Amino acid sequence: MKRIGLLGGMSWESSALYYSLINEGVRDRLGGLHSASCVLISVDFAQIERLQAQGEWQRAGEILAGEARRIEQAGADLLVLCTNTMHKVAAAIEDAVSIPFLHLGDVTARAVLDAGLRTVGLLGTRFTMEQAFYVDRLAAHGLEVLLPGPEDQAVVNAIIYDELVLGDIRDESRRRYQAVMKDLAGRGAGGIILGCTEIELLIGQGDSELPVFATTRLHAEAAVTAALAG
């Protein structure tokens, strides 16, 4: 079994979900008392969020690249960045290590294509929705990505940062997300990418009339597959 390196803490709520899903995946595939071999570094999200808000992406990338090097030095054989938004600085992280980097955008795109879909709606932080780094990565796989309108983007982002990263799960917020997803369906989306790891704390397949692509779960499953390959 290869050792999985987890770069988390953005937020720790979703990183805890990563840890659970990866260990459950290893247990389910190998049986018995098996669990994952992994190394986790969890950063202080307050520092990273402040850099996000200030547009200091280069500095954020430097911090995460340094932590990625520490993960490799701790014996990790592959690297998982446990957040969608900070894939904006994926190149800086990849350049800092020699171990394989499992890009969340690629994992998600493959899952959408395997489901036979080409047009999907995307929910995430405002950075993920507004900026090109994530949408372009998906589009490079041949996907058409639909985004919520500006007002809906503001709602989706506020629920993430004001509630979900704090573990605050509200039925009212679930209903607001469902309205956004319904609008995307009406515009032609064949599925919905839950493009923020915290969204899965709020939304599951039972909350959507369309197939949902839970990026945390997909990423965790891909990490288990990579760890057990060969």
| Whether the predicted pLDDT of 145 surpasses 90 | yes
Q: What value does the mean pLDDT take over residues 134-156?
A: 97
Q: Which of 125, 128, 196, 215 is catalytic?
A: 196
Contact by Cβ (8 Å): 60, 90 = no
Full-model pTM = 0.93
For 185, the enclosing helix (H) or strand (E) is: helix 171-186
**How confident is the model over 46-87, as pLDDT tens digits?**
999 999 999 999 999 999 999 999 999 999 999 999 999 999
For 204, the enclosing helix (H) or strand (E) is: none
The pair of three-digit structure tokens given for residue 36, joined into one six-digit string:
């994952």
- Count CB atoms within 10 A of the CB of residue 118: 13
| Whether the predicted pLDDT of 124 surpasses 80 | yes
Q: Which of 38, 83, 108, 128 is catalytic?
A: 83
| Whether the predicted pLDDT of 230 surpasses 80 | no
Spatial separation of the C-alpha atoms in residues 50 and 166, rounded to whole Å: 16
Average model confidence (pLDDT) for the chain? 96
Q: Which pLDDT score, from 0 to 100, does residue 34 have?
A: 98
**How confident is the model over 164-205, as pLDDT tens digits?**
999 999 999 999 999 999 999 999 999 999 999 899 999 999
125 is catalytic: no
112 falls in which pLDDT band (50, 70, 90)?
A: very high
**How confident is the model over 214-228, as pLDDT tens digits?**
999 999 999 999 999
196 is catalytic: yes
- The residues near 183 (Cβ < 8 Å, ≥ 6 apart) are 148, 149, 152
